[in-house]
A and B are shown apart, each in its own frame.
Chain A
Amino acid sequence: MNAEVTATRFRFAVNVLPKDGILDPQGRAVEQSLPHLRLSGIGGIRVGRRVELQVDAPDAAAARGIVDELARELLCNPLIEQYAIESLSAISAARSEAGG
């Protein structure tokens, strides 16, 4: 038996940030360091987390769906954080795998 499964590899980044209005002490700490730098005009700093990953899936929509579920379930706590999924330049080397 030789089942052929074709999947494309998609690359994504999930950017997680504190929700608007949630106290972000890390962002505040970075802001408070600004007087030590000779930079002006900076404000509104929010510090979050970026997770890069790859998914093998039949198509881009399916791949994004998997990433969305991962983001909702684990990468982001929806009570306090928001996320945005970013599609990275797909290396999209179509693969052919022999199973069985």
Chain B
Amino acid sequence: MSVRVGVVVFPGSNCDTDTAWALTRAGAEPVELWHEDADLQGVAAVVLPGGFAYGDYLRAGAIARFSPVMRAVAGYAADGGLVLGICNGFQVLAEAGLLPGALLRNRSLRFVCRDVAIRAERTDTAFTHRVPAGGPLRMPVAHGEGCYYADAATLDALERDGQVLFRYVDEAASPAAAAGRANPNGSLRAIAGVINAAGNVAGLMPHPERAADALLGSADGMLVLQSLVESAGTSGGAVAG
């Protein structure tokens, strides 16, 4: 029996179908979770997909935070449930306070849609244990507000506590300079993704589900999704609430 993984559908989500498809390839049974429904249907993990939830009005993710499904996701995360936010999903998790920091408008002011290289800074998490250490992963970004920001003290704490999960890297596999092309949005310390202190909530701006088959140019994203699905399978999805 395959692991049931929820994919939240907000009005304006546009990567939900791709995410469900990629999760199926990773061995999961995707379950759509409608934004007005606070019932997570007993899934073993939840993915918040990319898109423009509630039109991204006010700030990306700001209005989605107050939807019934997000109140359920917050409780689920507090109980240790696995939650992954991709792109807009990352923005929603940051707005909801489930992940530290904020995603600002890209430094270039441009919507950026192209492949980037990222490196997993930790390969011992529920989201990255299938990712080989060191090697860059190629996957696309597609966002206008992906510039990771937190104040200096928070950034230092994230580094110290191992909460920087992914970084944009340049051709030399070094962290990408904020003003360089390898850092698509000007993120501070080249941060592309973070994980919470408890290790059960993570978010990243690049799209693993758009790098889920060699035909798409890269299958590197599958390493992230397979990590999640395997972790969800071993935790049994037995999260109360």
Residues of chain A at the chain B interface (Cβ within 8 Å): 22-23, 25-26, 29, 49, 74-75, 77, 79-80
Q: Which of A23, A26, A77 contacts B59 (CB 8 A)?
A: A77
Bound Cα distance A80, B151 (Å): 9
Known pairs A29-B109, A74-B66; A23 contacts B101 (CB<8 A): no
Known pairs A74-B66, A77-B95, A80-B149; A22 contacts B104 (CB<8 A): yes
Bound Cα distance A77, B59 (Å): 9
Assess whether B186 is in contact with A23, with CB atoms less than 8 Å apart. Answer: yes
Bound Cα distance A26, B108 (Å): 9
Contact with A along B49-84 (1 / 0, CB 8 A): 000000000110011001000000000000000000
Q: Which residues of A contact B107 (CB under 8 A)?
A: 23, 25
Q: Is B147 an interface residue (CB 8 A)?
A: yes
Contact with A along B144-160 (1 / 0, CB 8 A): 00010111000000000
Sample of 7 more A-B contacts, CB < 8 Å, known A25-B104, A79-B101, A79-B149: A26-B105, A29-B109, A74-B58, A75-B58, A77-B102, A79-B150, A80-B149
Bound Cα distance A72, B107 (Å): 25
Residues of chain B at the chain A interface (Cβ within 8 Å): 58-59, 62-63, 66, 95, 101-102, 104-109, 147, 149-151, 186
Bound Cα distance A65, B62 (Å): 21
Bound Cα distance A25, B146 (Å): 13
A19 to chain B, nearest CB (A): 9
- Which B residue sits closest to A78, measured CB to CB? B102
Q: Which residues of B contact A77 (CB under 8 A)?
A: 59, 62, 95, 102
- Which A residue sits closest to B61, measured CB to CB? A77
A87 to chain B, nearest CB (A): 22
Bound Cα distance A25, B58 (Å): 17
A14 to chain B, nearest CB (A): 11
Chain A interface, DSSP helix/strand/loop, else mixed: mixed
Assess whether A80 is in contact with B104, with CB atoms less than 8 Å apart. Answer: yes
Known pairs A77-B95, A79-B150, A80-B104; A25 contacts B109 (CB<8 A): yes
Q: Which residues of A contact B58 (CB under 8 A)?
A: 49, 74-75
Q: Which residues of B contact A26 (CB under 8 A)?
A: 105, 109
A8 to chain B, nearest CB (A): 27
Q: Which 3 A-B pairs have the closest CB atoms?
A: A79-B102, A25-B109, A80-B102
A5 to chain B, nearest CB (A): 27
Bound Cα distance A29, B59 (Å): 19
Assess whether B101 is in contact with A25, with CB atoms less than 8 Å apart. Answer: no
Q: Which residues of B contact A79 (CB under 8 A)?
A: 101-102, 149-151
B149 to chain A, nearest CB (A): 6
- Which A residue sits closest to B154, measured CB to CB? A79
Q: Which residues of B contact A23 (CB under 8 A)?
A: 104, 107, 147, 149, 186
Interface centre among B59, B63, B150, B186 (most CB of A within 10 A): B59
Interface centre among B63, B102, B147 (most CB of A within 10 A): B102
Sample (13) of A-B pairs whose CB atoms are under 8 Å apart: A22-B149, A23-B147, A25-B105, A74-B63, A75-B58, A77-B59, A77-B62, A77-B95, A77-B102, A79-B149, A79-B150, A80-B104, A80-B149
